[in-house]
Structures are given as C-alpha cells and as structure tokens.
Amino acid sequence: MRCKTCDYRLWGILGRECPECGASFLPSEFEFVPNSVRFCCPHCGQDYYGTGPQGHLSPAEFDCVRCNRHICMDEMTLFLTTGVEEEQTLVERMPWLDRGRVSFFRAWMRTILMGMVSPGRLMRLTPGEGSLGRAWWFATLTSVVASLGAVLPVVVFPVLMIGSRSGAALGMWGLAVLGLLLWPTVVIGLWGAFTHAVLAMTGQRAFGPGRTYQAMCYSAAANVISAPPCLGVYFTPVSMVWWCVSAILMVRGGQRVSGGRAAAAVLSFPLLLTAGVTCLIVFVAIPGIRTAQRAVVTAAPQVNVALVSSNLLIYAQQHRGRAPGHASELVYDPGLPAYTLVDNDWTALAKTPVANTDLQQFSTASTAAQRATAQAAAKALPANVVAHRLGHFVFTCHGIDFNNADPGLWTVVSAPEKRRASSDPNVYIGLANGTTTSVPRATFTQSLAAQNALRASQGLPPLPDPRRVTHTQPATAPAG
C-alpha cells in the first residue's frame, strides 16, 4: 500500500494522511491479495485479516471482539501479514488492460514480456468477455512495429532507385503502408476463425470466439523477435513458432481445453496454409516452369541457327566476304555467345572440342588465347574441307564468297549429334544472306541434292549429309 501521489509506504500509519505529502487515503481505495494484509483495531490493536474480495475485511464494519467498540475498516491500521513481502500483497493485473496505472510504454512492454514468457498467466488475468478491441490494438501495434524493420528496407531501396516523386514510388509506398497496417488483422482474422472452428467441432469450450481471438491477439507478442531491422527476417521462423506455442498455451488456458485440442486448433491454419502453398508449387508453378523450359529447349535450334547465320554474315562482311577458317572464331569476332553453339545446353560446352581444348574453357579464355586456339583449329582442318562441326552446328561455308554468293547457299546446318526423341520434324539451316530456312526432315535428302546442284553452279564441291559430320571427321571435297 503506497501513497498514490508520492509512492510513500503507508503501512502501520494510524492517520489518514500521507506523512510525506499530506494526501489523504483510505484502505478501501486499495486492493490486496486476500490474507496478505493484517488490519489492527485503532483502539486495542486486535488483529483481523483481510480475507474478503480485494483482500478487504468482510464485513467492513463490526464490533471489535476485544474492546467491543464499533469499528470500520477505513479507520484501522494496516500491516503486512507476518512473512509476507510488500510485492506479495499486490493484486496482479493484466498490464495491457491496466494502462491507466502505469505508463503506456511500460504496460506495453510488460504485456509483451508476459505474453512471451508466461502466456497462460496473461490469459488468466484477461477477463473472458469483452476487451477484444484492446486485444486487437495490442496485436496490431506490436506486429506493425515489429515488422517495420523487415518491411522498410524492402520498400525504401526501390523507392530510392525509382525516385520518390514518381507515381510508381508513391504507389509502392501506399501498398507497403497498407500491407504493413493490415497484415496482423488479416492473419489473426483467418487464424482465429480456423482455430475456433476446430475447437467448436471437437467438443466443449469455456467461451465464445472472442476468447479465442484474445489468445491469437495477445500471443502476437512473439512477433517482437523479428523486430531487429534487416536481421529480423532471419528470426521470423523463430517468432512464428513462438507465436504458435504461445497461442496454444493461451487457447488451452483461456478456453479450458486439453493441450492436444488447443494444439490441433491453433496449428490447423498454419498447416493448411503450408499444404496449400506446397500444392500450388507442385501442381501449378513447377509444371509451368517445366513447360516454359521445354518451350525454350524446343525453340533453341531455330533461334540459335538464326544467331549463328547472322554472325557468319557479319564476320564475312568484315573479312572481304570470306567465312572464318574455323567457326570458333565467331566467339570473339563478332562475339557469338559460346552456348549458342550447343543450343543453350551448358553441360555440352565442356564436351565440345576446340583444337586442344573445349568450348567451355575456350569461352572464358582471353581473346589472344581464343585467337590462337581458333587458328590452330582452322589449321587442323584438311585443305579440301567442305564442312566442319562445332557443337550442334555443321558449318558448310568453306569457299563461299558471301559478297557474291547465291542467297540460297547453305552456310550452317543445325545438326545436333544426339538428336532428342521429341525434336521437331524440321532441319534448320542458315543461308548466305544471313537469314535461315527450314527443311522437313523427311525430304532432307532431296533438299541436299538440290543444294548440291546449286553449289555446283557456283563452282563449289558437293556436301555429304551434314548430320554425319563429326568433330573428329570434317567433310572433305571428293578427289578430282
């Protein structure tokens, strides 16, 4: 019992004024834990114990058993019961609902601490009915402040880059603020609904849904774990687990149900959510990615032959109409990406030989080293070569003068050595004017014959089937 004005200890004082500050007081204005306070008759000193509600005497007015005078509680002298410390006389209050008596910040911090460390006690101190609005206010305030550190960096950096005045930045800010303010309500709204539904389906409970929502709101204290800016993200799993455990203990105490039922009820929503997200990934996202990947792989030869063909033309235009001695030159002149030559199959790079190295190492070497390797590869080709292979492509451009060539001449043929079972029915071919064409696989032999007729008219030796040209065996012109 302390003076409400100056906090002076008022035990053992007969007068009804604080000796320190003069403020008047009455014992009935205080609450005590029952039996913790001894009331003494002001006339004879007889002891009485406060066993009633709020630790008061019951009744408050009576005749003293020793001196027989009529006395009332408010005129008696109060002492601590022997063996009781002052703290033990204090009635414990739910700090959040007791905000008028301590500062707002202290009430908030105490509620967070109690919600995390002894959630069952916090729930016991919270009246079963009413005060749901204040529970929501606690949850929103705590969760919003705790997630500020995690959300702000995500928003601030993009806005700094876009510029803070643009409409897009304002829109992002608006969305972020809205999400920041509303997420606790959305999460607790859904979570509480699932939790109470499971409780309702599995038997008796002490209170209505409001009590379950109180538990979900006050257990949100655990969100402070993820409050540290930037680092908080890494603690989020911990705060989520803590929130679940606190909520289970609060639901168990608050609704007076078994621990198992409380756990089943509280965990129903997170488990369903996890299952839903997993299903979404397995049945929607992964097939979508697979389809996209397949489309890329299927389209790769068509796209890449166009790239190779146009790079050949660029090379020829810069070298008086002549094709490179070996196709690996294209990688540094004019700069064809090496993976184009293996249809974006990165694993094939290391399996594609270029002189005494492979395309993987070649693609990362210095330009000087690349030039030396490409020259060695060109030198290694037979003098009468008509076609050589590099990766998935067979180059048929030897001897063609691009400046005066018939635009129908084949310069490169897309012909992977190991054709995939599902590959499309066409063979893709680059032409001397830098464009491409496709020939049905079924009639390729006829197309090759027509091409050789065209080559003959241009004074070029005939081609064998380009699909049979390997890295080790370039095609050569027939003797004579």
Hey, is 15 helix, strand or coil? coil
Give the tokens for residue 200.
């309702």
How many Å from the N-terminal Cα to the C-terminal Cα in the chain?
121
Name which of 27 and 119 has its Cβ closer to Zn ion: 27
Q: Give the nearest distance from C-beta 14 to Zn ion in angstroms.
A: 13
Give the tokens for residue 367.
């330009």
Q: Give the nearest distance from C-beta 90 to Zn ion in angstroms.
A: 18
Count Cβ atoms within 10 A of the Cβ of residue 103 and give its class: 0-12 exposed, 13-18 middle, 19 or more buried: exposed
Greatest extent of the chain over all pairs of C-alpha atoms, in Å: 145
- The C-alpha angle with vertex 397 and arms to 394 and 401, in degrees rounded to 5, equals 175
Name which of 22 and 208 has its Cβ closer to Zn ion: 22
Name which of 6 and 453 has its Cβ closer to Zn ion: 6
Q: Give the nearest distance from C-beta 17 to Zn ion in angstroms.
A: 8
Name which of 67 and 156 has its Cβ closer to Zn ion: 67
| Interacting residue ranges for Zn ion, rule: CB under 5 A | 3, 5-6, 8, 18, 20-21, 23, 41, 43-44, 46, 64, 66-67
Q: Give the nearest distance from C-beta 63 to Zn ion in angstroms.
A: 9
Q: Give the nearest distance from C-beta 227 to Zn ion in angstroms.
A: 38
DSSP of 408-433 = T-EEEEE--SS--TT--SEEEEEETT
Q: Give the nearest distance from C-beta 147 to Zn ion in angstroms.
A: 43
DSSP of 78-101 = EEEPTT--GGGGSPP--GGGGTTT
Name which of 16 and 66 has its Cβ closer to Zn ion: 66
Name which of 12 and 179 has its Cβ closer to Zn ion: 12
CA distances from 157 to 153, 229, 231 (A): 6, 14, 16
Name which of 45 and 260 has its Cβ closer to Zn ion: 45
Q: Give the nearest distance from C-beta 74 to Zn ion in angstroms.
A: 15
Phi-psi region of 9 (alpha: psi -120 to 50; beta: other; left: phi over 0): beta
